[in-house]
Chain A
Amino acid sequence: MSLYNFLYLSSIIFTLGVIGVLVRRNVLIVLMSIELMLNAVNLNLIVFSKLWGNVVGQVFTVFVITVAAAETAVGLAIVVAIYRHKDTVNIDEVNILKW
């Protein structure tokens, strides 16, 4: 088992997350894709932590998780608010912020 493989895995998952964000119209799934991306990054952090035997990478992971939690909470609240106003979770329909 090479630590190198972890990097490949994380880059694949990250790309999948990117594709999810760019392609899906359901805002919930967009948010979940963002979670995928964050997890990919976390994995990266931990791999390097392991590589250098330095625990700081793990500490940063904790912070990322914290931010993710906050982001999710606020994001979902926004989703709920949008849904309540526009009766949709379709991200393409929320397009008043233009011109």
Chain B
Amino acid sequence: MAEIIFWSLSAIALVFSFVVILAKNPVRSAIALIAVLLAFAGLYLILDSEFIAGVQILVYIGGITVLYMFVVSMMRLKRINVESQFSRQWLAAIISAIAFFVEVIYFILKGKDFFKMGMNSKIEVANGLGTVENVGKVLYGKYVLPFEIATVLLLAAIIGTVLLAKREKKEME
């Protein structure tokens, strides 16, 4: 059963990823992105990570992607659509990307023994691994300082965003 879910979710993620990078219309890209993210959320659930799956849906889909939609809707898409969508370096880009991919696969294969060691260790975690409780304990325990720093980062991002997006006085007049 899990096998099937995995393969179908993988397929969805792959297909919509292609849509994201190939679609002419950013709206379509954004919607495809939502699909990819949803698929990922499903994969997280398979991996016993309920909390992360929830966050994925709430933050990514509910926050970030909606933000994309807002911005896209502000643009005049007509002119954008007329232009060429791909950069002049596309060939070099794809070649180097594939080279990169090959290398990554090489590394994954090279680390197979190490991976198997993990598979055999049989670590059992009570109440499931990624429950809110488990994640919360670690997050607010050992990692409370990075967590606080992250909040500061967010604050900085908010201020930066406001400053960047604010219209200058001249434009207001």
**B47 and A32 within 8 A (CB):** no
Known contacts A7-B108, A28-B71, A39-B36; is A16 also within 8 Å of B17 by CB? yes
Interface residues on A, range: 35 or more
Q: In the bound complex, what is the Cα–Cα distance between A92 and B171 (angstroms)?
A: 25
**B40 and A59 within 8 A (CB):** no
**A65 and B60 within 8 A (CB):** yes
**B93 and A22 within 8 A (CB):** yes
Interface residues of B in 69-96 (CB under 8 A from A): 71-72, 74-75, 80, 83-90, 93-94, 96
Interface residues of A in 59-92 (CB under 8 A from B): 59, 61-63, 65-74, 76-81, 83-84, 88-90, 92
Known contacts A50-B129, A81-B164; is A66 also within 8 Å of B154 by CB? yes
Interface residue total, chain B, C-beta cutoff 8 A: 88
Contact with B along A22-61 (1 / 0, CB 8 A): 1111101101110110010011001111111101101101
Residues of chain A with a CB closer than 8 A to B104's CB:
11, 14-15
Is A97 an interface residue, CB under 8 A from the partner?
A: no
A23, A49, A71: the one within 8 Å of B93 (CB): A23
- Number of residue pairs spanning A and B whose beta carbons lie under 8 angstroms apart: 234
**A29 and B115 within 8 A (CB):** no
Q: In the bound complex, what is the Cα–Cα distance between A46 and B6 (angstroms)?
A: 15
Known contacts A36-B20, A65-B55; is A74 also within 8 Å of B164 by CB? yes
Interface residues of B in 101-123 (CB under 8 A from A): 101, 104-105, 108, 112, 115, 118-119, 121, 123
Residues of chain A with a CB closer than 8 A to B49's CB:
46, 49-50, 58, 61
Q: In the bound complex, what is the Cα–Cα distance between A37 and B74 (angstroms)?
A: 25
**A77 and B129 within 8 A (CB):** no
Chain A: minimal CB distance from B171 (Å): 8
Q: In the bound complex, what is the Cα–Cα distance between A63 and B55 (angstroms)?
A: 11
> Nearest residue in A to B149 (C-beta to C-beta)?
A63
Residues of chain A with a CB closer than 8 A to B98's CB:
15
**B85 and A26 within 8 A (CB):** yes
Chain A: minimal CB distance from B144 (Å): 11
B40, B51, B72: the one within 8 Å of A39 (CB): B40
Residues of chain A with a CB closer than 8 A to B21's CB:
16-17, 19-20, 23-24, 29, 33, 36
**A53 and B124 within 8 A (CB):** yes
Q: In the bound complex, what is the Cα–Cα distance between A70 and B156 (angstroms)?
A: 9
The interface of chain A, by Cβ under 8 A from chain B, is 1, 3-9, 11-20, 22-26, 28-29, 31-33, 35-36, 39, 42-43, 46-53, 55-56, 58-59, 61-63, 65-74, 76-81, 83-84, 88-90, 92
